[in-house]
Amino acid sequence: MLKDNDYILLWGEKSFLVKKEQKIFHSNFGTIELTKIKQYGQKIKSSNGAEFTAIKPNAIDLLRKCKRMPQIITQKDAGQIAAATGLRSGMRCLDAGTGSAFLSIFLGNIVAPSGKVYSYERDRKFADNARKNVKICGLEGVIEVKNKPAEKFTEKDIDLITFDMQNADKLAKKAKSALKAGGWLCVYSPHIEQQKRAAHEMKKNGFSRVHTMETIQREWHMDERGEGYTHPKPSGIMHTGFVTFGRKIS
């Protein structure tokens, strides 16, 4: 039985993320009486006859309700980090430069329930908002947001460290000492100059296989009529940033 404070993902021709306590939801598909939704998986029709299925949203769905303050790391870049480092449940991560906590939430959703993400943010307003976003996504037991400069982190035996902040290169040596053997350091920045400095310091401090990646993503329009008009859509998620990877071996 759903409670009033439960989120519901209404899945139909379009999707909408709502809270049951809203009772009535209005859209261009008509109104939906949310009080009639008793459980996830239930189908319901709007006043205009559009059918939706009530789905339990996951943490990534719930990011739609999270407030953005500073620029976020997008899912394509977060996904690249998770794929390249072999991130899995139970790992311990450190994310410095929390911002709106979107990367921390992405990492926390993977390492849950037994893993941990220690997230450092020096700006109090950003840290407070990040904690609210973490709570919305139901990951407050996994992600710990600390309102401290990244330079003051004390955690050890970490599997993955991510830096999204200025002067990340200056923390390469400290990051290496905090990582387990086999652990990864990932530095994110929209500017290649910062990545050059980061790569230099990572190599200087003995990180292995240091390399920088950029991910470009675009969606395609698929021609279902068979007339030869399949083509990439004119807009896409192009340059957002670079990620420099390095692995601690010893």
CATH code for the domain in which residue 211 is found: 3.40.50.150
pLDDT tens digits along 63-119: 999 999 988 898 999 999 999 999 999 999 999 999 999 999 999 999 999 999 999
113 and 82 in one domain? yes
Distances (CA, A) of 58 to 9, 12, 14, 49: 9, 17, 17, 27
Does residue 1 sit within a domain?
A: no
Which parts of the chain sit beneath pLDDT 50? none
| Residue 70 and residue 53 share a domain | no
pLDDT attached to residue 115: 98
Q: Is there a single domain that holds both residue 236 and residue 183?
A: yes
Specify if 224 maps to a domain. Answer: yes
Asked if 72 and 162 sit in the same domain, the reply is yes
Residue 117 main-chain phi, psi, to 5 deg: -125, 120
In angstroms, rounded to a whole number, what is the distance separating the alpha carbons of residues 205 and 174? 10
Shared domain for 106 and 16, answered yes or no, is no
Q: What pTM did the predictor assign?
A: 0.90
Domain count across the chain: 2
**Would 126 be classed as within a structural domain?**
yes
Return the pLDDT at 226: 67
pLDDT for 178 = 98
Same domain, 119 and 204: yes
Q: Which of 245, 236, 244 is nearest to 76 (CA)?
A: 236
Pairing state between β 220-221 and 158-163: unpaired
Q: Judge if 23 and 50 occupy the same domain.
A: yes
Pair (136, 178) in one structural domain: yes
- Provide the domain limits for residue 97: 63-247
